[in-house]
Amino acid sequence: MSETPKRPWEQRLHEAGSRMEEDLRGIIQYINDEVVPDVRRNGSDALRSAAAELQKLARKMDDHAGRTPPPPPPPPGDPSKP
């Protein structure tokens, strides 16, 4: 069976789709090579920073409500922990 020739707009659409697939592969490769390793290296620092900001927010909320905040948890690896 022979294929019917594609109309010009169909050909352009097919080419655009092919370019999009190629660009998407490049984006995925960039994320895997550049972004993911950086997140793995710096993710714990970002979490610590977010936790500190959440502590500040909790203190402000407690102050606003007139409550006494609970004491901060002991640092990790503290020998006084049970």
Phi, psi of 71 (to 5 degrees): -65, 150
- Give the model's pLDDT for residue 60: 92
DSSP H/E element including 69: none
Hey, what are 76's tokens? 């990790």
- Cβ pair 62, 68 in contact under 8 A: yes
Q: Do residues 39 and 47 touch, judged by C-beta distance below 8 A? A: no
82 residues of the chain, pLDDT tens digit each: 556 667 889 999 999 999 999 999 999 999 999 999 988 888 888 889 999 999 999 999 988 888 776 777 777 775 665 5
Q: What integer pLDDT is reported at residue 2 of this predicted model?
A: 53
Q: What is the pLDDT of residue 76?
A: 78
The verdict on pTM exceeding 0.75 is: no
> CB within 8 A of 51, min separation 6: which ones?
none
Question: What was the pLDDT predicted at 61?
Answer: 92
